[in-house]
């Protein structure tokens, strides 16, 4: 595969991740608005940060096509790795507190999103304008962020696996959830392999494909669960 074709494929896959993460963000907010449980707030906000991370990476990839690494691309990459890790932390925290804190909340999520977006823009502005020494060192620290992400995803996978083993009924959604997060884990691991090997298009493209597959599974889980909930509601209405 030629270099321009490979670059086009990578950028296309990255924008696909942005679109799918945006879809999940909207779907999880729909669930949060319906149930109002405060622990659910971490899921949509987490996917919002993941969406932002993939958007920053898309911008970095587009910028790198036209010029070499500079202050702009380094600033974008700092935001990319930080927002991705924050996203995984928020998603993991939702599972940590799922069984411990079930209170409802009336938090204005629009304010939370606006504040998060403003902080990201401010951080980008400070990095780009001040151009601190060592800003390009992000390319040396990416692997550390990836290792943290792998640890967070491993926790989620273990949590869901244990919950699946304790489930008394068929847990198709839990099984799909494990597979979805495992795909994200594979994506992060593939990226780590690519970074440590100093190249290799197969590992890089594989990491992106794994993310696309993961998000597609998450979307399927939502619609299957919604269909099952509607069927259960109909059956309960008939019995009532």
Share of the chain above pLDDT 90, in %: 28
Rounded alpha-carbon distances, angstroms, from residue 29 to 18, 35, 109, 111: 16, 10, 9, 14
pTM > 0.85: yes or no: no
- Please choose, from the candidates 37, 52, 156, the residue with its C-alpha nearest in 3D space to the C-alpha of residue 106: 37
Dist CA 136 CA 79 (whole Å): 12
Provide the CATH number for the domain around residue 148.
1.20.1070
Residue with tokens 């869901």: 160
Structure confidence at residue 71 as a pLDDT band (50, 70, 90):
confident
Residue 11: what pLDDT? Answer: 87
For residue 132, pLDDT beyond 60: yes
Count of structural domains, the chain? 1
For the chain, what is the mean pLDDT? Answer: 79
Q: Lowest mean pLDDT: which of 58-62, 134-138, 230-234?
A: 230-234
Share of the chain above pLDDT 70, in %: 73
What pLDDT does 50 receive? 92
Three-state SS for 104? strand
What mean pLDDT do residues 35-54 have? 77
Is the pLDDT confidence value at 21 over 70? Answer: yes
Do 153 and 181 form a contact (C-beta atoms < 8 A)? yes
Residue 233 predicted with pLDDT over 50? no
- The b-or-e profile of 42-71 (16+ CB within 10 A means b, else e) is bbbbbbbbbbbbbbbbbbbbebbeeeeeee
What is the structure's pLDDT at 134? 65
Supply φ then ψ for residue 68, to 5 degrees. -75, 180
Tell me what the mean pLDDT of segment 13-33 comes to: 86
Q: What is the mean pLDDT of residues 97-114?
A: 59
3-state secondary structure (DSSP) of residue 37: strand
Which pLDDT band, with edges at 50, 70 and 90, does 229 fall under? low
In the prediction, which pLDDT does 222 show?
A: 84
The CA distance from 133 to 144, in Å, is 20
The pLDDT, as a whole number, for residue 121 is: 77
CB atoms within 10 A of CB 74: 19
User: pLDDT value at position 5?
Assistant: 81
Q: Which residues form the domain of 49?
A: 3-239
Residue length of the chain = 240
114 vs 235, more confident: 114
* pLDDT for residue 187: 94
Instruction: Return the minimum-mean-pLDDT range out of 4-18, 169-183, 184-198.
Output: 169-183
Kindly report, residue by residue over 73-85, the tens digit of the pLDDT: 788 888 899 999 9
Instruction: Please say if the pLDDT value at position 90 is more than 60.
Output: yes
Q: Provide mean pLDDT across the span 167-181.
A: 75
């Amino acid at each position: 595969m030629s270099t321009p074709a490979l670059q086009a494929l990578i950028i296309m896959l990255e924008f696909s991740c942005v679109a799918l993460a945006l879809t999940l963000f909207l779907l999880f907010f729909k669930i949060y608005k319906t149930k109002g449980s405060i622990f659910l707030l971490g899921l949509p906000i987490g996917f919002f940060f993941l969406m932002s991370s993939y958007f920053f990476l898309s911008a970095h990839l587009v910028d790198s096509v036209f010029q070499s690494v500079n202050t702009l691309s380094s600033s974008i990459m700092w935001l990319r790795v930080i927002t991705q890790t924050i996203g995984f932390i928020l998603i993991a925290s939702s599972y940590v507190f799922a069984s411990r804190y079930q209170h409802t909340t009336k938090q204005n999520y629009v304010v939370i999103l606006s504040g998060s977006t403003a902080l990201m823009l401010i951080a980008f502005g400070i990095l780009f304008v001040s151009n601190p020494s060592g800003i390009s060192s992000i390319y040396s620290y990416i692997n550390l962020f990836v290792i943290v992400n792998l640890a967070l995803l491993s926790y989620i996978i273990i949590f869901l696996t244990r919950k699946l083993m304790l489930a008394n009924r068929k847990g198709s959604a839990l099984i799909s959830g494990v597979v979805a997060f495992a795909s994200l884990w594979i994506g992060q691991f593939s990226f780590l392999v690519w970074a440590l090997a100093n190249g290799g298009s197969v590992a890089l493209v594989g990491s992106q494909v794994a993310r696309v597959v993961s998000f597609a599974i998450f979307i399927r889980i939502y619609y299957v669960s919604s269909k099952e909930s509607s069927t259960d509601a109909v059956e309960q209405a008939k019995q009532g």
